[in-house]
């Protein structure tokens, strides 16, 4: 949104009644035709604006798109989303932000898309990214930490999403699937993808990408039995801006604690919210399968399991499946 369109939006937001095109012209020193064009731009962005002859314009409904102008009013962050860029369509928010990171853009940049043409998750799996309904966003940070700690950020993000959804929707049967997924009633609702650039001892940058199904109601055939959304479970359309701002505020708060105290303050959330806790699982790891009973998520972010012979093993990463009997 350019500065003039943004200024007109601010004028409309502050007005309690109709405001004439002439008044807007005088405030911004632009023509009536220019005002009309900017109003049309706002409508294309999803704002519902009533125009009445001799009275002017007023906003009837705000856009559901999580654009900076709507988000910034809801944010309290100092580490995340200190600068926001929104795109109607992008190939992948993570891919785009990783390229920007190489060019030295500052920590705190958040990229949001209304639609991804090539969204992806772990192991380059496609992420279903239709327009006008969900959240697809990536965050750039440059923490001064050892590289081995970076994978914990996927779990930290999962804990932030979990806590946010429990606060917004207390009755929602939400859970965490180690290491980077959020489930609702047994179906996947969100995924987290952390990608980074490091040298031997230093992290150059980390990009935390998150996809959250908010208002999508129809999935492709191959996803119908395994994916879900907030609207499907609440029965109501949800504000994407409100959900996103709440997640970013929570993640920002938790990230500051994590920088000094690690995952320890969040282990209760991770383990109480885990859908794997106490379950028999199969882990695909390095071309082999490991079976065991999930004991807990450990302080270093690994998954602790009890193997059939009674020994314990830490799983640092891998594809986890709950064993069906």
> Which residue shows structure tokens 């990408």?
209
The per-residue pLDDT for 280 is 96
Average pLDDT over residues 222-243: 95
The per-residue pLDDT for 119 is 80
Q: Say whether pLDDT at 174 is over 90.
A: yes
Please give the share of the chain, as a percent, with pLDDT higher than 90: 82
Confidence of residue 39 (pLDDT cuts 50, 70, 90): very high
User: Of the candidates 324, 298, 170, 181, which has an alpha carbon nearest to the alpha carbon of residue 233?
Assistant: 170
Domain boundaries, given as residue ranges, for the chain: 3-61, 68-272, 280-322
CATH code of 3-61, in short, is: 1.10.10.10
Q: Say whether pLDDT at 121 is over 80.
A: no
Q: Say whether pLDDT at 125 is over 80.
A: no
The per-residue pLDDT for 126 is 79
Q: Say whether pLDDT at 300 is over 80.
A: yes
Burial bucket for residue 193 (CB in 10 Å: 0-12, 13-18, 19+): buried
| H-helix or E-strand spanning residue 50 | strand 48-52
Confidence of residue 124 (pLDDT cuts 50, 70, 90): low
User: How far, in Å, CA of 148 to CA of 142, rounded?
Assistant: 14
The structure's pTM equals 0.92
Confidence of residue 8 (pLDDT cuts 50, 70, 90): very high
Q: Say whether pLDDT at 33 is over 80.
A: yes
Superfamily classification of domain 68-272: Bira Bifunctional Protein; Domain 2 (3.30.930.10)
CATH code of 280-322, in short, is: 2.30.30.100
Degrees (nearest 5) of the Cα angle 88, 159, 234? 65
Q: Say whether pLDDT at 270 is over 70.
A: yes
Kindly write down the DSSP assignment for every residue of 113-134, as one continuous string: ES-BSS-B-GGG-B----TTT-
Q: What is the largest CA-CA distance in the chain?
A: 82
Q: Say whether pLDDT at 244 is over 90.
A: yes
pLDDT tens column, 74-105: 999 999 999 999 999 999 999 999 999 988 89
Q: Say whether pLDDT at 15 is over 70.
A: yes
Instruction: Supply the DSSP symbol for 159.
Output: H
User: Of the candidates 16, 23, 17, 18, which has an alpha carbon nearest to the alpha carbon of residue 7?
Assistant: 23
The per-residue pLDDT for 123 is 58
Average pLDDT, the chain: 93
* Other C-beta atoms lying within 10 Å of the C-beta of residue 135: 22
Q: Say whether pLDDT at 10 is over 70.
A: yes
The per-residue pLDDT for 286 is 77
Please give the share of the chain, as a percent, with pLDDT higher than 70: 98
The per-residue pLDDT for 323 is 84
The per-residue pLDDT for 122 is 66
Average pLDDT over residues 232-244: 96
User: How far, in Å, CA of 166 to CA of 61, rounded?
Assistant: 27
């Amino acid at each position: 949104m350019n500065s003039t369109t943004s200024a007109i939006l601010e004028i409309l937001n502050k007005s309690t009644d109709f405001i004439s095109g002439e008044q807007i012209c005088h405030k911004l020193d632009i023509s009536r035709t220019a005002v009309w064009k900017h109003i049309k731009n706002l409508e294309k962005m999803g704002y519902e604006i009533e125009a009445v002859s001799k009275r002017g314009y007023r906003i009837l409904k705000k856009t559901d798109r999580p654009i900076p102008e709507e988000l910034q009013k809801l944010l309290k962050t100092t580490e995340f989303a200190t600068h926001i860029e929104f795109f109607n369509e992008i190939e992948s928010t993570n891919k785009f932000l990783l390229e920007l990171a190489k060019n030295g853009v500052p920590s705190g940049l958040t990229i949001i898309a209304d639609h991804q043409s090539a969204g992806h998750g772990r192991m380059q799996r496609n992420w279903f990214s239709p327009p006008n309904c969900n959240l697809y966003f990536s965050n750039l940070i440059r923490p001064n930490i050892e590289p081995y700690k970076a994978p914990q950020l996927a779990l930290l993000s999962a804990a932030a999403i979990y806590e946010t959804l429990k606060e917004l929707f207390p009755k929602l049967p939400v859970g965490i699937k180690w290491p980077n997924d959020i489930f609702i009633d047994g179906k996947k609702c969100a995924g987290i993808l952390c990608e980074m650039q490091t040298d031997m001892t230093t992290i150059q940058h980390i990009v935390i990408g998150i996809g959250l199904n908010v208002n999508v109601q129809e999935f492709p055939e191959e996803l119908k039995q395994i994916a879900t959304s907030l609207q499907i479970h609440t029965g109501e359309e949800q504000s994407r801006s409100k959900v996103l701002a709440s997640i970013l505020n929570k993640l920002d708060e938790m990230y500051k604690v994590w920088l000094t105290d690690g995952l320890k303050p969040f282990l209760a959330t991770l383990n109480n919210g885990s859908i794997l806790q106490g379950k028999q699982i199969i882990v695909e790891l390095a071309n082999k399968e490991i079976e065991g009973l999930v004991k807990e998520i450990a302080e270093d972010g690994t998954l602790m399991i009890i193997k059939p012979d009674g020994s314990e093993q830490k799983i640092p990463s891998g594809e986890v499946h709950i064993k069906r009997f």
